[in-house]
Amino acid sequence: MKLILLGPPGAGKGTQAQRLVETHGLVQLSTGDMLRAAVKNGTPVGLKAKDVMARGELVSDEIVVGIIEDRIAEPDCAKGFILDGFPRTVAQAEALDAMLAKSGMKLDAVIELKVDEGILVGRIEKRVAEMTARGEPVRADDNAEALKKRLDAYRAQTAPVSDYYASKGALKTVDGMAPIDDVTKAIAGHLGV
């Protein structure tokens, strides 16, 4: 199974990806983690990324897709993978599709977790208050204002990716506001498992 999980920050993509990993033996691929590993391992694509990052620039879509291409060729991805944090733009989705086609692969599903953004903001405010009350450290970006900025960026850059996959007939949607187990069942239903 080759999957993409879409949805705004806080929609539950990480939780659902982890459940798919445990249930189906898939590999969850985080582009950030893959980028750091490629740089650390000195792969050809990683060396290109290192040079770009050393100049303080953003890594190009071409480099990110190259890192994904290298990673999905590894044996642990033979059963399948879930892309986490990619694609973030339509250009990245197009580049991913082209790379997969070149490799003789295609996505089995693109699943979007639909959520109410107002409730997400309320959830984060509640979580931060609970963590603070327990004396736990709170990440600097774990607050309502940061979430609102991330949601704005998601709507501007990543939400069009849903339309891209919908136009190809590949997008499936799930109510991300449902209880976690119900979301898991809905995803399984879309995957036919």
Q: Is 102 a catalytic residue?
A: no
Under 8 Å CB-to-CB from 94, ≥6 apart: which residues? 164
Active-site choice (36, 114, 150, 172): 150
Q: Is 127 a catalytic residue?
A: yes
Under 8 Å CB-to-CB from 159, ≥6 apart: which residues? none
Which residues pair with residue 40 across a beta bridge?
none
End-to-end CA distance of the chain: 11
Q: Are 52 and 63 in contact (CB under 8 A)?
A: yes
Which helix H or strand E contains 187, and what residues bound it? helix 180-191
Q: Is 71 a catalytic residue?
A: no
Q: Is 19 a catalytic residue?
A: no
Helices assigned H by DSSP within 42-179: 44-54, 61-72, 90-102, 117-133, 144-153, 159-167
Active-site choice (19, 36, 88, 148): 88
Report d(CA 4, CA 6) in Å as an integer. 6
Q: Is 88 a catalytic residue?
A: yes
Return the DSSP state at 58.
P
Active-site choice (139, 149, 155, 172): 139
Q: Is 172 helix (H, G, I), strand (E, B) or coil?
A: strand
Residues serving a catalytic function are 13, 88, 127, 139, 150
